Structure 1
């Protein structure tokens, strides 16, 4: 099986599990929107929950996983399974040490941290105090979820993708249950949700353990803080931590700027981002997660020409999926937000404001999808410095654009700034790959046809937007129209898409 087809197959596994997670995630957001609305209580919880998530992406998914998978793959390939598992256990020791220290600092300094990430709260001391309390409750989640990310790296490197992709389902199910229980029993909703986050983190970690045992892995065995493999990961992580920090600073920057706008702006951006995360998570992140182990194997074998061809086909598949998704989100933004969130404490004004934020974010969806696979290519090649330099430039661009555009379009301007900075990131990452490859740095000949078909689908969906929630029932129809037209035009991405889906269905059928 070719590497591209293998990526498509594994991405389909991740996408299927992620689809279930995203559906539960939407139910979770609907329930939280009903219980909290889009006011100060919601802002407090989202800020508190964002802090451990920032560190999760910084020390786990954002840098550890990217540095860990290539080193683990190389060790497993050339030194054997036992040595690779020793690398994983040694990495876990470092995680516990570093994150334990950070957790202690965060609990002690919860109030100053709140003012750093949301300085606009300073005018409302009661909101600051409440957010600080939630920070102290939520922050230990970082230990559990970083452990989950390490489990994901081990399993993905050994071509198992299902269990890590199902982990978010545990979080969503626990938060849904906690929200409904809080409303029914009269418990304080934000505090209940914060405690539920800890329970969910433990559940996500426990879910991975049976699958690790099937791979022959045990947490008990040789490990050392000075293991050569973990020291190599550390050297690779130094620039990747900076790069991940830059990426997370983009999120923090948006929160900081939004805190100076009208109350609720943080929540408008949060709910809009959640909707964009649906296609991004189901397809974009799924493809990049499946691609990293294949990229790492090709890089370890020195097969740079095959790596370039695989990257180009991967980018083609990402654009094939993300372009029509962006068009659909833009066309159906208002009925989508109204149907999913427009009830309870979520007012008509909040629906309109969130819908416009969704339009802003959606213009950058294809870029969001492509960035992760491009960065994965750099990490597979063990070039961790170039993405950091590019990410830093894009952070400055995002900040400048955000300050400018929020003057005219408030929170929508912040969403547009993120989208524009992400497109700049894609262009710069593509140009930077010329130093590694002699071939074309991007060869996706069907992009024009993808754009044309996506535009037609978007216009068709926009015509139906006036039907309200009923317009959402047309989404499968427009997807079928797009796939059918692409197939008639002979676009190779159509075959990859269906081939990956068929292989997953065969595997499910055999079980």
Structure 2
């Protein structure tokens, strides 16, 4: 089990690394083309709305409800095959009969629902801008399109009509990815996001000449990126013999079970996204650039979070679901402990390194074209706030599957409600004093509360408690990351010195600092006695 988990985790993380690197390239292109001004705020807003619904209908709540049920059906197929003395003579199709039937029913039912939602989103795009861009709507009502806010309102409504179909494509992409992950084929789904980044980059570079503005080119990049991701998965489903004809089946056993699981999960798993939308709503009342500064800071946070937190969680959920189906609580706890160890190994140095090198990294990645020195400072302040909650965000990705794998979506939703209410209160308290940075602090505080409540719930239910060995392990990692931070701090120059460097020198100096920092971290953890054997899942 341990070797299989490690191998799967490495595959997902490697594919995710490629995607995240291209994601950074995409953000560099966006920053160069639009900076952090009016068009950037509007495009990022128009991209955020369908991505929020993606969390509901795609890899968020849907995946958390679908994967455990699919694992249950797949386990049933495996047991049937083991009990059938004529298994060798059976076709692969028959050996996946239950799994294929569920996929057909879910894809057909989801297809109808998601089509209705997508069409409504395109037609009612001004309504969504009114709801989540309230500051722009108020300006539009008072001053029309002649005001900055009014211009943003009209442009956002127009861009949403282009970006909303992305929701349809990505929902089926996520369904396909969940199926392939359950079958143990993690690389395809992990690589797929690369295609979205490529599409946006190409449209930003070559599409601007054929559209009204760079914002429209990027919006079409989102549309085509979703389409390409959807088409890319189909051959792999065919090869795995799970490409089936969708059928409407609202009341079937599997769909009914998923519906019951997904209703609370719709809210519970999407708390972070709802918090980000609330941040966007409040940011629409703040100065121009607030949405963009939060976005760029969040993207840098998402790099380690996506690479390690989401990558490991992608592997953990199917494994936990199968262990629950086999009624193996000991291995269930051991797998959760393994997940906590792995994300801690990479999370603490990522936190320390980004804290020390935040401004040089932002400078090297984004400070060109329309992206100014002032933008570097503003983004770095939001990033500092987000980074204080990096481990909390990561722990949520590991702890939440502890509930979903057991088909318990009610407990996370109760926890999610508490975290979201707390986030609202934190926003109202902090935003008037700290502006957009207050929004980032509020998000971090609510995420920390969410992670703590998830852990407390698992502990009280006697499902999982961090072992004493893991506590000592984490303490060693914190010490090693602290030493690494001191080393990098001594090597790094002052902000003004970084500004005076030419671009090539900046890159060389940054790579040197990161390289020495990583080396010092791994030397420290070796000296502290951490070995590869510490990552075995204990039986």
Superposition TM-score tier, normalisation by shorter sequence: over 0.9
- What secondary structure, in the 3-state scheme, does the structure 1 residue paired with 2:492 have? helix
Check whether the contact 2:73–2:99 (CA below 8 A) recurs between aligned residues: yes
- What secondary structure, in the 3-state scheme, does the structure 2 residue paired with 1:262 have? coil
- Aligned twin of 1:472: 510
Deviation at residue 263 of structure 1 after TM alignment: 0.6
* Structure of greater Rg: 2
The Cα offsets for residues 201-241 of structure 1, whole Å up to 9 and x where unpaired, read as 11111111222122111222777333211211111111111
Q: Write the distance in 2 (CA, Å) between the matches of 1:293 and 1:39.
A: 42
The Cα offsets for residues 265-323 of structure 1, whole Å up to 9 and x where unpaired, read as 10000001001111111111000001111101111111112111221121111111101
Q: Work out which of the residue numbers 151, 168, 178 in structure 1 matches 2:176.
A: 151
TM-score, length-scaled by structure 1: 0.93
* Structural mapping, 1:120-159, within 5 Å: 120-122=135-137, 123=139, 124-159=149-184
Deviation at residue 106 of structure 1 after TM alignment: 1.4
Q: Write the distance in 2 (CA, Å) between the matches of 1:493 and 1:247.
A: 33
* Structural mapping, 1:175-254, within 5 Å: 175-183=200-208, 188-220=213-245, 224-254=249-279
Unaligned runs of 5+ in 2: 78-94, 140-148, 499-505
Deviation at residue 29 of structure 1 after TM alignment: 0.6
Q: Write the distance in 1 (CA, Å) between the matches of 2:64 and 2:28.
A: 33
Q: Write the distance in 2 (CA, Å) between the matches of 1:447 and 1:65.
A: 30
- Aligned twin of 2:85: none
* Structural mapping, 1:377-456, within 5 Å: 377-437=402-462, 440-443=465-468, 444=470, 445-456=472-483
Matched, 1:113 2:128: yes
Q: Write the distance in 1 (CA, Å) between the matches of 2:518 and 2:466.
A: 29
Deviation at residue 490 of structure 1 after TM alignment: 2.1
- Aligned twin of 1:506: none
- Aligned twin of 2:388: 363
- What secondary structure, in the 3-state scheme, does the structure 1 residue paired with 2:192 have? helix
Q: Write the distance in 1 (CA, Å) between the matches of 2:203 and 2:255.
A: 38
Bigger shift: 74-83 or 368-377?
A: 74-83
The Cα offsets for residues 41-66 of structure 1, whole Å up to 9 and x where unpaired, read as 11111111111111111111111111
Q: Write the distance in 2 (CA, Å) between the matches of 1:77 and 1:186.
A: 50
TM-score, length-scaled by structure 2: 0.88
Q: Write the distance in 1 (CA, Å) between the matches of 2:313 and 2:429.
A: 32
- Aligned twin of 2:344: 319
Unaligned runs of 5+ in 1: 500-511
Bigger shift: 222-231 or 358-367?
A: 222-231
- Aligned twin of 1:54: 52
- What secondary structure, in the 3-state scheme, does the structure 2 residue paired with 1:449 have? helix
- Aligned twin of 2:103: 88
Distance 1:206 1:182, change over 3 A: closer
Q: Write the distance in 2 (CA, Å) between the matches of 1:407 and 1:454.
A: 34
Q: Write the distance in 2 (CA, Å) between the matches of 1:449 and 1:441.
A: 15
Cα RMSD (Å):
1.9
Check whether the contact 1:305–1:437 (CA below 8 A) recurs between aligned residues: no
